[in-house]
């Protein structure tokens, strides 16, 4: 895992994730980028930013209809409106609207609470924990699965928790490292490890794949 990281970092350099000026923006970005590209999520965030609505209290004052209009560019906007509103309700009820209070909770209980919100799955909860909360929680996404699968590092049918343990058991619990590693896996997935035709000869992990094949 460390060698893969070193190769990716040497090739791509720092990725400066997560794009977002505040913890709240990062959380909204994690909720809005589900099942869509970051570009679409960013358009919805831009709608909120232009209207100076990027705070829990201001957003909480909008009706569902008002919010859904602003979130429309992110796709699945009705569902995302419900998700964002349920997060805002939870934040208000549990933490009096304070992100400081939210992130004062221990990681396991906070993760459980985030996962109990409608529309929040493990990848989204862990993105919030890692990128907004600086917790040492590795985020598993489709690109990560693809790379691990193609390199024979994990069974194709491995579940989210199994893949997460694979990283967390091999690496020190360092949020900055997990942040960068996840971003680098996304970079390699987007640039080389395409679903249909992976460009292994040009990929920085091509050597690793060759070595694995050579070892049989």
Which region, judged by CB under 6 A, interacts with ligand SF4, from 48-56, 106-114, 162-170, 192-200?
192-200
Q: How far is Cα 85 from Cα 59, in angstroms, rounded to an integer?
A: 9
CB 103 within 8 A of CB 70: no
The reply to whether 150 sits near ligand SF4 by the rule CB under 6 A is: yes
| Cβ closest to ligand SF4, residue 22 vs residue 199 | 199
Determine, following the binding rule CB under 6 A, whether residue 45 of this chain makes contact with ligand SF4: no
Residue 139 CB, shortest distance to ligand SF4, in Å, is 17
The verdict on 200 binding ligand SF4 (CB under 6 A) reads yes
Helices (H), 151-205: 160-170, 175-191
Q: Based on CB atoms, which residue is closest to ligand SF4, 177 or 200?
A: 200
Closest by CA position to 59, among listed 103, 22, 109, 34: 22
Stretch that binds ligand SF4, among 13-21, 46-54, 112-120, 203-211 (CB under 6 A): 203-211
CA gap 38, 33 in Å, rounded: 6
State the Cα–Cα distance between residues 46 and 43, nearest whole angstrom.
5
Least distance to ligand SF4 from the beta carbon of 196, Å?
11
Q: Judged by CB under 6 A, does residue 209 bind ligand SF4?
A: yes
Q: Please tell me whether residue 192 binds ligand SF4 under the rule CB under 6 A.
A: yes
Residue nearer to ligand SF4 on the CB measure, 43 or 209: 209
Q: With respect to ligand SF4, which residue has the nearer C-beta, 4 or 138? A: 4
For 41-46, the CB contacts below 8 A with 24+ separation are 41/74, 43/73, 43/74, 44/70, 44/71, 44/72, 44/73, 44/74, 44/77, 44/80, 45/20
Alpha-carbon distance of 201 to 57, in angstroms, equals 50
Q: What tokens appear for 22 in the block? A: 């505040």
185 binds ligand SF4 (CB under 6 A): no
Applying CB under 6 A, does 147 fall inside the site for ligand SF4? yes
> CB within 8 A of 153, min separation 6: which ones?
147, 166
By CB under 6 A, residue 154 contacts ligand SF4: no
Binding site for ligand SF4 (CB under 6 A): 147, 150-151, 188, 192-193, 198-200, 203, 205-206, 209
């Amino acid at each position: 895992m460390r060698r893969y990281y070193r190769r990716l970092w040497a090739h791509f350099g720092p990725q400066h994730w997560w794009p977002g000026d505040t913890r709240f923006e990062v959380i909204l970005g994690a909720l809005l980028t589900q099942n869509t590209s970051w570009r679409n999520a960013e358009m919805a965030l831009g709608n909120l930013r232009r209207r100076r609505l990027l705070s829990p209290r201001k957003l909480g004052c909008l009706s569902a209809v008002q919010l859904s209009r602003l979130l429309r560019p992110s796709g699945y906007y009705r569902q995302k409106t419900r998700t964002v509103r349920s997060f805002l309700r939870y934040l208000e009820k549990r933490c009096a609207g304070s992100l400081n209070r939210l992130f004062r909770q221990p990681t396991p209980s906070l993760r459980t609470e985030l996962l109990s919100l409608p529309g929040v799955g493990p990848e989204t909860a862990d993105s919030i924990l890692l990128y907004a909360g600086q917790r040492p929680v590795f985020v598993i996404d489709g690109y990560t699965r693809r790379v691990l699968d193609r390199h024979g590092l994990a069974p194709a049918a491995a579940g989210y928790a199994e893949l997460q343990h694979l990283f967390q058991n091999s690496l020190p619990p360092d949020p900055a490292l997990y942040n960068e590693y996840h971003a680098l896996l996304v970079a390699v997935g987007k640039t080389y490890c395409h679903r249909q035709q992976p460009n292994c000869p040009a990929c920085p992990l091509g050597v690793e794949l060759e070595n694995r094949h050579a070892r049989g």
